[in-house]
Structure 1
Amino acid sequence: MKRNYFKSKLFLKYIWSYLFILLIPLVLMTLFIYRNAITNLRSEIEQSGLNQLTQAKIIIDGRMKELSEIASRVSYDMRLTPYRVHDAFYSGEAIQALDQYKATSSIIGEMFLYFHKDSKIYSANGLSSLEVFSGSFKFNNWDKETMFSDLNTVKFPTMRPADTVIRNSRLEVKMLAFLVPITPFNPNPHGTVLYFIKESELTSLIDSILGNYQGFTYILDDQGQILVDNRQGEALTPTEAESLFGLASGVHERTLNGKPHSIVSVTSENNGWSYVSVMPSSQFASSVVHVRSFIIMLFSILVLVGASIALLLARMQYRPISTLAEFANSQAKPKHKADGARLAGNELDRIRGALQEYSLRVDLQEPYARNHFLSMLLKYGNAQSITPELQEAFDLRFDRSFHFVMVIGWNESKESAEERQERQERLEQLAQIQFPELDAHCYGVELPQLDQLALIISFDGNHTLQEFTHIRSIVEAISGHLLKTFDVAPTIGVGTCYSSPDQLNQSYIEAYSAFEWRTSAGYGTVTYFEKLSYSPDPATLWIPNSSLLKLSQSLKKGSFDVAAQMIRPAIRGLQATELSALIRRCVCFDILNAMMKTAAEVGIPNLVQEVSPNMINSYSLDELERGFLGLASRICEQVERNDQREEQSQMDLIVSYIDAHYMDYTISLETIAVEFDISPSHVSRTFKEKVGLNFIQYIWQKRLDEVMRQLRETNDPLKDIINRVGYQDTPNFIRKFKKETGHTPGQYRKLHAELETG
């Protein structure tokens, strides 16, 4: 039967949930991408404008400096003194000189020389009266009187804003006038050099800044006057244009004409001129229309794909729920209106009702399930299978420090069936008992035999009681509780205590073994497995092999203190025990034999000659202790000397290896350690002790010496030399080379070349 999922409100809710989860990050991601595209584009445009304005500033500063230098040369040119200019014989030479100066700069449209209070003005085309000059060059905003006044009074280089000039009553052209007093920087100049510069000469430098965007580009003088501008779109009001003056160099945002604008400003340090580019910010968004179209298309595709995925996920999530709902419906047979109302709810409501019914059934079976689970724990251990859910369901806790098992049994032969039934009912009360004063939890487990019960005990250690004493206190408390409950003393077997509940199966086997021991001990007794497994060991009269091994190892490491800690207790133990002289000698021979064998292994084969033949037989134990300690000291000192010689020999090999491979850029402490099979930390520490320099310093000095040699003896490129000696970071090497020698590699090579030729 085909299901119609769309009739389910729960299924539709799942779909909307997935769509909501999809759309939120999708919308945020879309806005982020779109905003990031606009921001990046704006940043690129602003940075490009800043770079171009800076370039224009550099060029114009250079041109203005060039004009000032020309004026300076004019002021000191003997051909252009007032006397020679006015003299009929030399005037032609003066005009020719002006023409030469004009030709030195491509930015000059016209060039004039004027001496204060003179009625004439001089140019490359000849001299003319001021009246004729003012008639030939008519400025819209620079009348004749102001012009004559400026020519006679200007004391600092002054650039007039671009103005329309009428040439010979016909031709109109926009030009700037640049007045430079001569002699420059003289508080009382005697004349003025006047340059006419076509506006296009400056605007050509800023035309490309706006590109295809709307906006304005201005060059303002140090007083805030607009010298030239380049406009694409609506103009700014004079007040707004003047507000651009004084902005710090960089990128700014400001509202102009009621709209946000991006402003890029650069200020010249030479003449105080400002170069400003202004663009409406709104056009940046329109410039990424292709990105917007792409994002809209991508968004639509993702929504469609997301809707399909949401439908698929909702169907996958709803399918098991619908299956459970159908199962709940099939199991629920409404017998009255309440049941019918329950079936009318959504799928989750119907499942919830079915689970409640099954929960009631499970509660009835819980004791059996709990006992089965604990039985499996006693059989297999594996307490990790106790999930928090199971612990909560069965009310179990195995979070204590120690765990052990008790097996309890009664002699059923003397009991009637009624008595056994009564005892079985009481056993159910032992499912869980606590002894707070002993910090112990007990969980009862019914065993297959009717007369037997297992108890799992978990407790925390008491620092005031020994572990076994604590266990015995718990066992006695449980035994008393059982005696009080059943009026009969049971037989109890106690297993070994373990720190992990995973070993409860071992403790159970041990407890059952102790319980089976009752045949020899009788009923009503407590048997501990630890007591069954204990028996005196004659081998304890001898020194354990582990102690002799530790003594040998301490001598091999040259650790006299550890060796002494092993020898003294062993000898004093012989004094404290009543052993025969033969056994004492044998024990001493064990110690001596371990020391002689170790001495031979560390390279002292003749140490046995230093031992007196009667040492074991005639020496007292105190004398033996002093003798053994002396031998141990002798061995440890020899080991230290051997280690020092070995380290020095090994360090000589390491230094030789470094000297042969220092030009390999892969050489490092790690490669040395691998080559000589020692740790990098040991190489570093021993190298510093033996050589006096650390590893890095030594490598650097070797490479530095080789570079200096090759700089002196070869003409190879510096980069090839540096790479050849194993140093790959050329700039860093040059910086360190200069710090070490006081010269760059190039200066060092040149210096030694001069010394050799000199």
Structure 2
Amino acid sequence: MLMFIRHFRSRLFLTYLLSNVLVFLLPVAVLGKLMYENAVVNLRSEIESATMSKLAEARDVTERNMRELSRIAAKISYDPSLTPYMVRNDRYSSLEAIEELSRYQALNGVTEDVFLYYRGDSDIYSGIGVSSVETFLNSHYSLNDEDKAEFANQINTIERPYIYPVQSVMFNYEPTRMLTYMFPIKELTPYGTVLFWIRESKMTDLVENTLSDFQGRAIIVQDTGTVIAESARGSELPEEKMLELVRQTEQEGLRQFKWNGEKFSIAMVRSESMGWKFAAIMPTDQFFGRVFEKRTFILLVLLLVLTTGLLAALFMSMNLYRPIRKLTRFTREKIGLADGGTRNELELIRHSLEATVDKQANLEERLETQRPWVRDLTLIRLLTGGLGENDKEVLARLVPEQEGRPFQLSFVMLVAPADSSSGNPAERSGAFDREQILKQLYKFDLPGGIGLGVELIQERAIAVFILVFDGAGDDHPKAVQRRSGLHVQGLIQDNLGLSWALAIGNPATELLQANRSFIEASAALEYAVKLDRTGAVFFDEMLEQQGQSAWFPAEEQLKLVHSLKKGDEAVALESLRIMIASISGQQQSLLLLKCMCIDIVNTLFKTVRELNLKPFDAEIKSLVEFTSLAALEAEAAALVRRVCAAVTSRKEAEFDHLRAQVTEYIHKQYSSYSLTLESAADRFGLSPSSMSRLFKDTTGSAFTDYVSKLRMKEIKRQLTETGLPIKDIIASVGYADVSTFVRKFKKSEGLTPGEYRKLYGRSSIG
């Protein structure tokens, strides 16, 4: 329940909920509107259709009644007892005519009374007696003289049936609103008129029924435009307007019109036999009101649909919000934020992703920057025996071209400048040459293999790690070595026109044995430098030229010496073990065996002296006093470990000293126009790329950035502490282009040098 309440504290959840509710409510609203309008249209159509039917029914009833009255009038005209002669003959005939008229009245249920008048006569006959026309009009009608004359004229002259408008007549001694239906009787020409009294209510009931329980007006109009009957119920439409509309409407059917901004529907039918119009006019808006009678059912249905939709929207919103909530909680936990609840989770996730992407970009940038350094460090560790079985995946990343293929063999080449005028490789080549060679050898393809080069800063040489893929050919390893050596020589000599010494160690079938090939190449390079040889020098060929030792394998003796010089404990111990094993397997006199052992001791002693390490007199004395080969091997192994540790420590100290020298040199020379990365690299016998990595590893900054910071710091100091001209200050720290530096200074500090001096100079402070 608490979690459910927390959902409503989230703007994102409320947004989801509102969106889903709107998505649901819009079609429901449209559907409800369509249902409502459809109900209104259908109801209006039903009402209008019912109105038309009722009007037609009223017309049919009226026509039927009028036909009945016409039939009665026709019977009267042919009734022999009601001829003018018989009526006027004597009193008995008159009484008989009155009785006959009474019988005709009793035969129909439409009229209230029947009157017979012969034109030109002064009397008028009915079912209750005879009276003069004047008496008839005076006693039954409330007409003025003009209307009386008009009435008398009508009964004497009409040629076809005519309805005299509603009048209040005395009927059974009570005033009653009656219609007077005049029907001419004739043979060839009219000679009389039959008058029928019809209660107005009978006609109005017919038309009023067409309105049902709606408001409006219903009317019957004869062809002369006279209103026969009318019924009005709560309608604001004036009678004159309705008569005007009915008179203007000639076609049967329905139509709509507006009056005073209100919509009305008019329905009209005609009687072709009588020429009468039956019409009903009703306000259209009341049809909508009738729909409200069904609103309970509609509202219940809509309420049910709405409730279901809201529950569905809530369920969908919770499902949509749940993964966002989990992701938000995870994000908050990772970045250490409290659960705020009301903060937009998407904003939080977006900011978190942006921060992650920025960190990733920075990390990738740093990785990309450090990639060459990591690559070189990995190769150097491989050459010095610093990698183990767990590092093979790291090696695979260095050579993506391998694509899962195993290596057939690998070996190491050492490339160093050869110059007869100097025996020190550090002085034989400038930084430019080193950089060009390193670019050529950094990574290159070989037939069936690949070459990877790395500069060895302390050895002042370039090591080339040659990898030959399995299946690249069945050539002898020596042939592969020679072909690779020629390829590297071609890259250096043909492309750069330089002549460098090339030393090649023996091939190995295991990648992790590259340090042994490196030791062998180091021995071959030392041999080439001593003899001032150029071209390729192979370790095994060098051994053949130097001759084999009588006591133990000469190659192991050389590897022992050079592994001690490199501080490679693993190779040194392995070579020592092989040499001791070689002596142990010989069947010689005790004296000769001791001489062999003394030769090993001399080799170790001589190497320690060449390395110029601190005296190891006690260790050497223990070696000389050995009592067995096992004791000699144990003492020699202990000495090897201590020497390798000392060499490694000294190399680290020398490398730290080199770093300090480089930093000191930059601090002294940063104001020089000639200070560049290339000049600094040349000063210390390095390639510019190696100098760049060494400097960044030492200071954490790129070479140019570091120099710029030193120069900027000095310029700021002189601007604030001296009164020297700005141009001279800029020139004194190594900038030749004053305007370029001014733009750079303003971009960095937001001020020009002059503005900076005014703001921070001593005079402004004082």
Indicate the TM-score class for this superposition, using the shorter chain for normalisation: 0.3 to 0.5
TM-score by length of 2: 0.44
Question: Which is greater in Rg?
Answer: 2
Q: Which has the higher contact order (CA 8 A, sep 6+)?
A: 2
TM-score by length of 1: 0.44
